[in-house]
Structure 1
Amino acid sequence: MAEKNKPLVVDFVGGAVGHRFRQGGGRSQALPKAIGFKAGIIPNVVDATAGLGRDAFLLASLGATVTMVERNEDMYQHLLDGMERARKENDEYRDIMDRLTLIHGDAKEIIPTLNPEIILVDPMHPERKKSALVKKEMRIIRDLVGTDPDAKELMEVALHHASKRVVLKWPMKADPIEDLRKPSHQITGKTTRYDVFIRS
């Protein structure tokens, strides 16, 4: 349950997402680099763990076509609401929303039906053992959706079905997923790393 007087809201127009969108930064950011944005290449992406939809929105704002998959019913409804409000904001946001598709269900079952090129996986990981206090918003989300104990199984499905690459978004200091093969390369930030698995 969300904390009292602090309901969870998916907001693509205001807050951190809207600020990042207005400030730009575009393809120079770590995520677009990991996904494979290049001159003349507009990726087709499956975001297997949609969450608040922020990564999917960033990619769609850069021109990518993104299919979001969210298995938690409450989060799915929050996303639908946020997408509808953004669509009504203006033509620019409506164009971005037109590049986003939202599916409710388990990505492990849905991915094989999508013929995906690029898959982004951002599991809800357990709290780190010596971490600073988790941001309030992240605590609310974790209370709502829990963690993803099947992250390795999801990654295996993604690695089997993606035709071009799989990108795993993971906390910089978190332990790696056990027994998962090594990535082709990594793109790192201050608190997050992107493990990139290129499909040959």
Structure 2
Amino acid sequence: MNIINQPYVGQLAVLYEGHGDPLPFQQLAARLGVPLYQGLPKEIPEAFLLTWRDGILKLLDRELFKKGGLFVDIEPRSGEQRSWPAPKQDALAHALGRKTRTVVDATTGWAQDSLHIFRMGYELLCIERSPVMAELLADGFMRLAGLDWMQRLNLEPPCLLTGNAIEILMALEAPPDCIYLDPMFPPKRKKSALTKKSMVVLRDLLGNDQDKEQLFEAAMKAAGKRVVVKSPDYAEPLGGKPSESFQGKLLRFDVYLK
């Protein structure tokens, strides 16, 4: 697991609530270049807080403070197999391709697709541009490494790189079979009850992906066989007409073959 430290610029602080060793909290604040609060002050100017609760690194905003926070969930989503390797039966698996072995997820985010790809047995490299998300991911992957089935099968969690995905893709030593992109598209409606809190927070942290066209071009140059783009069903295909598409619930996977 490889974390390239980059200072976070934004409205974030680390919170130490007085439980356990304060050193990891101090180190986290130093890595991100953000304030550290020891105990909750009456007023917090920052919009987001990072803290460990129940042994899990969590991201809080004012709404989430008493609800437990957001974190990288390493458990399979509803409908996904718990076995390893999980059957390659859904739309994502069909998009990745039967002969694909190596996958790069260039827009990891909360890693729900990444972890599904990993559980299906692909060799996976994850890229995340946000230093904040990278810390949450590193914590999640560390918890993944400690699971009984991971240790029993002698598996390592996905490799994680933090930085500009366009630059990292251009510097890859060997082309992966597939590069997976899940860029953030502007929402269809400004406010939607269906929008998950995790996506709202991610959008607040990072904004919409303004460089997704450039990322797609870089992915097409760096991929060995194919690029897969996950899109909401209302969005135009990112790279023009795809070679093929696989439909999911309210979304689709566009495949661009080389």
Same fold (TM over 0.5): yes
Unpaired segments of 5 or more residues in structure 1?
A: none
Task: Tell me, in whole angstroms, the C-alpha distance in 1 between the residues paired with 2:78 and 2:221.
Answer: 35
Q: Note if 1:190 corresponds to 2:249.
A: yes
Aligned to 2:77: 17
Q: Note if 1:145 corresponds to 2:206.
A: yes
Aligned to 2:90: 29
- SS of residue in 2 equivalent to 1:55: helix
Q: Cα offset for 1:161?
A: 1.7
Task: Tell me, in whole angstroms, the C-alpha distance in 1 between the residues paired with 2:107 and 2:253.
Answer: 15
Task: Tell me, in whole angstroms, the C-alpha distance in 2 between the residues paired with 1:154 and 1:52.
Answer: 19
Distance 1:48 1:140, change over 3 A: same
Q: Note if 1:63 corresponds to 2:121.
A: yes
Cα deviation code 1:159-199 (max 9, x no counterpart):
1221100000000112443xx33210100112110010011
Residue number among 147, 168, 172 corresponding to 2:229 in the alignment: 168
Residue number among 87, 103, 106 corresponding to 1:48 in the alignment: 106
In the superposition, the TM-score normalised over structure 2's length comes to: 0.68
Q: Cα offset for 1:142?
A: 1.5
Kindly, what percent of the aligned residue pairs are identical? 34
Q: Cα offset for 1:21?
A: 3.7
Q: Note if 1:136 corresponds to 2:197.
A: yes
Aligned to 1:106: 164
Larger relative contact order, structure 1 or 2 (CA cutoff 8 Å, min sep 6): 1
Judging by fraction of residues, say which structure has more helix. 1
Distance 1:96 1:32, change over 3 A: farther
Task: Tell me, in whole angstroms, the C-alpha distance in 1 between the residues paired with 2:145 and 2:153.
Answer: 8
- Structure 1 residues 80-99: aligned runs within 5 Å: 80-92=138-150, 95=153, 98=156
Q: Which has the larger radius of gyration?
A: 2
Q: Structure 1 residue runs of 4+, over 4 Å off?
A: 93-97
Aligned to 2:70: 8
Distance 1:149 1:19, change over 3 A: same
Cα deviation code 1:29-74 (max 9, x no counterpart):
11111000x2xx4520000001111111111111100100001000
Distance 1:70 1:130, change over 3 A: closer
Cα deviation code 1:1-26 (max 9, x no counterpart):
3432252200203xx53873438973
Aligned to 2:13: none
Unpaired segments of 5 or more residues in structure 2?
A: 1-47, 49-59
Q: Cα offset for 1:75?
A: 0.2
Q: Cα offset for 1:131?
A: 6.7
Kept after mapping to 2: 8 A contact 1:184/1:198: yes
Aligned to 1:121: 181
- SS of residue in 2 equivalent to 1:20: coil
Kept after mapping to 1: 8 A contact 2:100/2:177: no
Kept after mapping to 2: 8 A contact 1:64/1:99: no
